[in-house]
């Protein structure tokens, strides 16, 4: 509702004000599109598309607010959903995290973090409330994304990420 005695503000004025406000509040924001279903029958599964590795390859990443673990399906998982599958050998920047790496000891998943017998793999087993589970090992690689700058332009960016 607009008061009768107010003056109208142009859309461009509002956009300029929003750009300044966003620059102040959200400097370097990363914007991800969200896909999925709010249907309670399917437990409200949501995902976003991310690019991992070098060269970048797109993956569907389930948005999981119930744990700290971020994981994608691997090539060694024939029963995983039919989206892209990550292969360490396919990315020139990927590195399997060994148990001796400080990243492995810093992970706070408690009993969920497990090492392979030979110590070459920092592994995990994560069980969810719906009785599903995932297991695998941690990998460090490059995460590619678009960052929204202070003047609302979109920039390609990347950062290192640890995931399963």
**pTM assigned to the model:** 0.70
Range of the domain at 133: 27-163
CA dihedral 51, 84, 128, 114 (to 10 degrees): -80
Banded model confidence at residue 82, pLDDT cuts 50, 70, 90: low
In a domain, 46, yes or no: yes
What's the pLDDT tens digit per position in 101-126?
A: 888 877 756 556 678 778 788 888 88
CATH number at residue 155: 2.40.70.10
Question: 76 or 119, which is more confident?
Answer: 119
- Into how many domains does the chain fold? 1
Query: Residue 162: CB partners within 8 Å, gap ≥ 6?
Result: 97, 103, 138, 139, 140
Question: Residue 65: which of 101, 25, 22, 34 has the closest Cα?
Answer: 34
C-alpha angle with apex 39: 38 to 42, nearest 5 degrees?
105
In a domain, 140, yes or no: yes
In a domain, 120, yes or no: yes
């Amino acid at each position: 509702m607009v008061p009768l005695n107010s003056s109208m503000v142009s859309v461009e004025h509002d956009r300029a004000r929003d750009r300044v406000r966003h620059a102040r509040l959200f400097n370097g924001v990363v914007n991800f599109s969200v896909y999925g279903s709010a249907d309670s029958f399917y437990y409200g599964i949501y995902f976003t598309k991310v690019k991992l590795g070098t060269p970048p390859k797109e993956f569907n990443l389930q948005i999981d607010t119930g744990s700290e673990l971020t994981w994608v399906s691997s090539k060694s998982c024939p029963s995983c959903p039919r989206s892209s599958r990550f292969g360490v050998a396919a990315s020139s920047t990927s590195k399997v995290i060994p148990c001796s790496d400080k990243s492995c000891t810093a992970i706070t998943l408690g009993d969920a973090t497990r090492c392979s017998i030979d110590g070459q793999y920092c592994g995990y087993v994560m069980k969810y409330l719906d009785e599903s589970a995932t297991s695998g090992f941690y990998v460090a690689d490059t995460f590619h994304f678009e960052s929204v700058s202070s003047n609302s332009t979109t920039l390609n960016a990347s950062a290192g990420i640890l995931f399963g």
